[in-house]
Amino acid sequence: MKRWVYTPSPLLQKTLAERLTTFPREPSMAVYGLRLLGMVLLRVVFALYFRLRIEGGRNIPRSGPFVLVANHASHLDAVALACALPARQWNHAYAAAAQDYFFGSFFRALAAIVFTNAMPFDRRDDPVKSLELCADLLHVSHEALIMFPEGTRSADGVLQRFRSGIGRLVAGTDVPVLPAFIAGAFEAWPKGSTVPKPRRVTIRVGAPRRYAASPATREGAQAVAEDLRQCVLELGECGRAS
Amino acid sequence: MNELHFTDPVYVFYAKIWGAILLAGGLALGALALARRGSATVRSALLTYRSWWVIAPLMALPLGFGRTAIIPAVTLLSLACFHEFALATGLYRDWYFTGAVYLSIVCLGIVTWIRWYGMFLVLPMYVVALLLVIPVLRNRTEGMIQHAGLSIMGFLYFGWFLGHLAYLTNLPHALPYLLFLTLAVALNDVAAFTTGKLFGKRALVSHVSPRKTWGGAVGCVLVSAVIVAALRTKLPQFGPLQLVLSALIVGVGGQLGDLVISVVKRDLGVKDLGAVFPGHGGWLDRFDSLIFVSPLFYHMIAFFFGKGMSLSPGG
């Protein structure tokens, strides 16, 4: 008789807190269920309180890998972008979140995982390893990523320099990169403020860009980052003009 | 039993016993820790002891809030135990089967809530039917006997067996029975651990659990007899026969429940089934004996005192 093969979960003997910070995560029924509720709740809150408007949402692919790149000036950014995702991508698009902040406390980690499907990004000690993890997600698991290449929230709402990590991730590959601009999130909930104000938030998603022809070098990566920053800036300005 | 029990004399009595045992245990362990500083055994015992301060209130609160809290609490416990089992076997990757078992356990809770005894007894038939049909509906065969088999065991053992603990709330005198059972099984676990360390050399079942000895097993049954004798006045309706049966069910059944989960763990090659309670392991490591004891204790009561439950011959 053939013996049954058991493959126990690697999470079995870990505590709940350890389970939350383990990445890559395996699909979990509980997290998917909570996320379904969370997404509905987010959409209601964003529709009523922030009167969220999404322009160019159709640019986001319904399946397959992509990188969504946006400006970062508020804690609302990642959850606002989650509202722009098509339902099929809810469990497949990972928001790169600062490990030192979002995975430092249990409830923050839980909220980040449920609402934004956060992946812990170690921006301080080992960003190279985190970038490799991102590359695996994109190229091996064919999942999607949401990134804020500024690396941190802008204190004054002005777009900062883009780090070259995004370039290293996509230069020389055929993964579509979508620039997006989030307007109003800074006014609603800037850095340092405790309670979000009811201001309109608008997300503008640009057409996908590909960098297959860019060289996978330091200069190539910087050029990609600079190009994406220009795209995001333009999206921001075209909103101001209209 | 729908009202709050926090001021019920039986509840207060058992709360005092729990408090006294926890305090006495703490003092004894504290003295031991001072006498034998740095001993690894004492340190692990302290860890196990600390967890009891979490486990005891976790059991005491639903018992105090009555049936409205006990049934959901037992259902959640069943779900947690099955979840650990699914993680340990790898069944959790198959959402069709695990989802079906989770739903079935919730159904069992509802059936218990509305006191539908007939359905409580035949629900396993419907669940087995559902689980066996899942591969047919999915048009899949590979590995399906394993998944269905593990799911059936999961529902029957962690859902239905443990579900009898919740169904006890539908019997008269449920509160004293539940308080007795939770205390006796907990003390029995501690006794099994201690007597196993102190007495006996001949291994009971060397392949399943090398540390369990015959001396420990007999000592454990004796301890549970003493517990039953000490609590006999708090067990309504019970005569000598029921008291002897209770001692055997708790003393023998408790150890068997422990060994059943040991077999599962050994076969899977895992040490613990979780890390919820430091020093104990997971939910399943803590409540393994209660799972085995609950249905036996329930049906003993139903057999002798369950009027209209048709469990005695010709009844």
pLDDT higher than threshold 50 for residue B137: yes
Q: How far is B226 from chain A (nearest CA, A)?
A: 36
Which residues numbered 23-52 in A keep a CB inside 8 Å of some CB on B? 26, 29
Instruction: Check if A11 contacts B (Cβ < 8 Å).
Output: yes
User: Where in chain B are the domains?
Assistant: 69-170
Report chain A's mean pLDDT, rounded to a whole number.
94
Contacts of B129 by beta carbon, 8 Å cutoff, 6+ apart? none
The pLDDT of residue B311: 57
DSSP labels for A211-237? Answer: -TTS-SSHHHHHHHHHHHHHHHHHHHH
Whether B192 contacts B254, CB under 8 Å: yes
With CA atoms as reference, report the closest residue to B175 among B6, B11, B291: B11
Residue B309 has pLDDT above 80, yes or no: no
* C-alpha torsion sign, points B149, B152, B153, B154: positive
Distance CA A208, CA A191 (A): 29
Position B5 scores a pLDDT of 93
Q: Which of A7, A15, A29 sits opposite B98 (nearest CB)?
A: A29
- The yes-or-no verdict on residue A29 having pLDDT over 70 is yes
The per-residue pLDDT for B310 is: 55
The answer to whether residue B313 scores a pLDDT higher than 90 is no
Question: What is d(CA B153, CA A5) in angstroms, rounded to the nearest whole number?
Answer: 16
Sign of CA dihedral B80, B81, B84, B86: negative
Query: Does the pLDDT at position B304 exceed 50?
Result: yes
- Identify the pLDDT of residue B315: 43
Where along chain A do its domains lie? Answer: 60-241
pLDDT digits (tens, 9 = 90+) for A41-60: 999 999 999 999 999 999 99
How many other β-carbons are positioned within 10 Å of the β-carbon of residue A159?
Answer: 15
CB contact under 8 A, A13 and B272: yes
A8 touches chain B (CB under 8 A): yes
Strand pairing report for B203-205 and B209-213: antiparallel
Which among A5, A6, A25 is the top mutation candidate for probing chain B, defined by the most B β-carbons within 10 Å of its own β-carbon? Answer: A6
State the Cα–Cα distance between residues A103 and A86, nearest whole angstrom.
Answer: 26
A60-241, which class in CATH? alpha beta
> At B218, is the pLDDT very low, low, confident or very high (cuts 50, 70, 90)?
very high
Query: Looking at CA atoms only, how far is residue A68 from chain B in angstroms?
Result: 29
Q: CA-based Rg of chain A, rounded to a whole angstrom?
A: 18
Q: Which of A3, A5, A7, A13 to mutate to test the interface with B (most CBs of B within 10 A)?
A: A13
Taking contacts as CB-CB distances below 8 angstroms, the residues of chain A near B274 are 12-13
| Chain B, nearest residue to A26 by Cα | B93
- Interface residues of chain B, partner chain A, Cβ below 8 Å: 84, 87-90, 92-93, 95, 98-99, 102, 146, 267-276, 281
Q: List the beta bridge partners of residue A70.
A: A180
Q: What is the dihedral of CA B296, B297, B301, B303, to 10 degrees?
A: 10
Mean pLDDT value across residues A201-209 = 96
Go through B58-72 and write b for each residue having 16 or more CB atoms within 10 A of its CB, e for each that does not.
ebbebbbbbbebbbb
Q: How far from B115 is each of B22, B110, B111, B119, B168, CA to CA, in Å?
A: 35, 8, 6, 9, 10
